[in-house]
Structure 1
Amino acid sequence: MRQAGITQRVLVLQGVMSQTEARRAARRFLEPVFHHASQIDAVGTVGFGLPLTAWIKLDTGMHRVGFTPEEFAQAYARLSALRGVRPNPNVLTHFACADEPDRGTTDDQITLFKQTTADCPGETSLCNSAGLLAYPQAGGDWVRPGIMLYGGNPFITGNAADIGLKPVMTLTTQLIAIREVQAGERVGYGGKFTAPETMPVGVASIGYGDGYPRHAPNGTPIIVNGQRTQVIGRVSMDLITVDLRGIQATVGDTVQCWGDQLPIDEVAQAAGTISYELMCQMSGRVTRRVVEASE
């Protein structure tokens, strides 16, 4: 990121694990998170020329990484005393259930965070995407939006459009074949789809090797030539098959897997996952094109 010319402050959420990594972070003005005593031990009392701006993580209920409330005061004092770290480290936590309708867990986390860090003068950060939208009262100096930056719904209910989010990622391919399948014939690996009638079936050039979810079942929505239809048969490494009954289509037509015509959250729900996974698993063989807002 620094080599790309990005000069804004950058948090390294998994932190540093050695003096070498700490020295590298200081040299690049990165801000590592300390979430375990072994990191403080590893960095030790050496200086790095430029002191680190450090963050320390308080575990308020996620129980993944971070110091417990009982451990926090001692860990904060140890980190503050390190020669290579600026005084008054910043503090963050992470919400476990902010995406769920029940607010109890997140409210408890906010209360615990504020109680435990009341005497800490540094900056604070609590909110992910769901926390930012549903718990503005959590406050903090920094927020950490993720999925919402891509236009994905951070909640387990509802949809992105309802909360004013727009998709910024569109995945398209094209039809490479259309064929007629007879009633009773099965389509694809394992014959997971049986044609209920003689029907046209399209073949689109995308598969799990590109990042399209292999576990997408029959009925997963897809757009062909601007018309909504469904995936049929098992997703292959390089190909998917689609139902073309009632669809005007020819070989070469555009197929939209998700984007402005089909919310990624809807595809993710059909595939039994979340939109973030679909965004993250795009493989390197998928051509990327950055489109500016004015285009």
Structure 2
Amino acid sequence: MARPLTADIDLNALRHNYQLACELAPDSRSVAVLKADAYGHGAVVCARTLEDLAPAFAVAAIEEAVVLREAGIKVPIVLLEGIFSADELETVDALGLSMAIHSDWQLQAVQDFSPRKPIPVWLKVDSGMHRLGFHPEHAEQAWKRLQSLPDKVTDVHLMSHFATADMTDDRYFLSQFNLLQELAERLDAPTCLANSPTVLAHSEAHGAWNRPGVMLYGSDPLELSSDTSRRLQPVMSLRSEIIAVRELGKGEPVGYGGRYVTQGPARIGVVACGYGDGYDRHAVDGTPVLVDGRRTAIAGKVSMDMLTVDLSDLPEADIGSEVVLWGKSRHGAVLSVDEVATYCDTISYTLLTGVLPRVPRRYR
């Protein structure tokens, strides 16, 4: 009998979420973002699930692209951070990859390289995120340099990243978008600007390409959910079982440090899941879980291999009862990973990408 903790991956939900992204932007092509092992869901399986739908995939780095190519994925792949050294251009060329260019040294490396066929590139502009990208005042010169290299690059697009597209206050988003729109019009340049919150909430920024990421996996990236974002379906269900039950009296401490103290007679369930599996140790008392489809909460600090939950109001729960840490219960209830993340003072991205390899992924 194996340890009962699994990450169950609903591939039909993945396809649904990708198709929703396409539905919201019918005049755009949607590149499916598979970086960080498809946000913890398994990049190869997710790529195979979407390869008949998606015209391209995106990853962060060349190592992630190599994994997909070695698995037989032939769909175009974009390197969202481009190359990290000039010698990677040999692999870019050999594997037929596309790449972002965000700095002068990358542009010069491409200019000095002789590919077997021109490399599709996305010129990244720093419109206000202040991570990667050409300053807007220098982007036009970089664009013209790329346009002068038809034997080396092709299909040049403008790319940028919005810092606040998920927020209800859209003033900074609009300042970024207006800057990019003016630049794109001046250069007559196609764009790839829309990340998940932009796809969901800012149709004015949909471009020739969009790049939905976390929304593909069912997480709602918006500060305030919308009717559209509520159509997303969770892809990962982190599921375990009760492995022991403790009957305690009033005033009994539970777990490391005795953070949680029973307020009266209590039933405490022990769950096979802990921070050694990637569940966030910062989860506070009261963090929701589903036990046999009913909501209850964590009671006590998360341990490496276990956590404890309050079963006092669930008299029928016992050893073997299903526990869903986030996702869909077999009983029909759903617990959003976004809600769990708020109790851990983090975001869904860190929970999903943080599920460690010892947790088996089960695909359906």
TM-score using structure 1 length: 0.93
Look up the SS of the partner of 2:210 in the other structure: coil
Residue identity matched to 1:39 = Q
2:302 matched to 1:229? no
Secondary structure at 2:138 match in 1: helix
Q: Does the aligned pair in 2 maintain the 1:179–1:200 contact within 8 Å?
A: yes
Letter in 2 for 1:279: L
The answer (yes or no) to whether the contact 2:285–2:301 under 8 Å persists in 1 is yes
1:85-104 correspondence to structure 2 within 5 Å: 85-87=152-154, 89-104=156-171
After TM superposition, the structure 1 = structure 2 runs for residues 186-201 of structure 1, keeping only pairs within 5 Å, are: 186-201=253-268
Aligned residues: 291
Report the Cα offset of residue 158 of structure 1: 2.9
Distance 2:242 2:351 in 1: 21
Equivalent residue, structure 2, for 1:277: 350
| CA deviation after TM superposition for structure 1 residue 88, in Å | 5.8
**Paired residues of 1:129 and 1:144 also in contact (CA < 8 A):** yes
Distance of 1:161 and 1:152 partners within structure 2: 12
Following the alignment from structure 2 to structure 1, what is the Cα–Cα distance between the partners of residues 339 and 227? Answer: 10
Q: Could you say which structure has the greater relative contact order, defined with CA pairs below 8 angstroms and 6 or more residues apart?
A: 2
- Equivalent in the alignment of 2:146: 79
- AA matched with 2:317: A
- Give 1:208 shift: 0.7
The farther-off stretch of 20-29 and 162-171 is 162-171
**Aligned pair partner of 1:250 in 301, 318, 328:** 318
Which amino acid is 1:204 matched to?
A: V
Instruction: Select which of 258, 277, 286 maps to 2:359.
Output: 286
Displacement of 1:182 after TM fit?
2.2
Amino acid at match of 2:305: D
Partner letter of residue 278 of structure 1?
L
Report the structure number with the largest CA radius of gyration.
Answer: 1
1:111 is displaced (CA, Å) by 1.3
Q: Look up the SS of the partner of 1:234 in the other structure.
A: coil
In structure 2, the partner of 1:49 is 116
1:207 aligns with 2:280: no
> What's the counterpart of residue 259 of structure 1?
327
Which AA in structure 2 matches 1:283? L
* Structure 2 unpaired stretches of 5+: 1-67, 329-333
In the alignment, which residue of structure 1 is the partner of 2:235? 168
101, 120, 130: which one aligns with 1:34: 101
Q: What CA deviation, in whole Å up to 9, does each residue of 1:94-139 have, x standing for no partner?
A: 1110000011111221211121122435531010111011111113
Question: What CA distance in whole angstroms lies between the structure 1 residues aligned with 2:198 and 2:229?
Answer: 16
Aligned residues with identical type, % of pairs: 40
Q: Is the 8 A contact 1:59 1:93 kept in 2?
A: yes
Q: How does 1:132-151 map to 2 (within 5 A)?
A: 132-151=199-218
Task: Sort the Cα spacing of 1:187 and 1:161 in 2 relative to 1 into closer, same or farther, 3 A.
Answer: farther
The structure where helix makes up a greater share of residues is: 2
Letter in 1 for 2:325: C
AA matched with 2:320: G
Aligned residues of 2:250 and 2:265 also touching (Cα < 8 A): yes
CA contact (8 A) 1:80 1:88 kept: no
Q: 2:183 aligned with 1:116, yes or no? A: yes
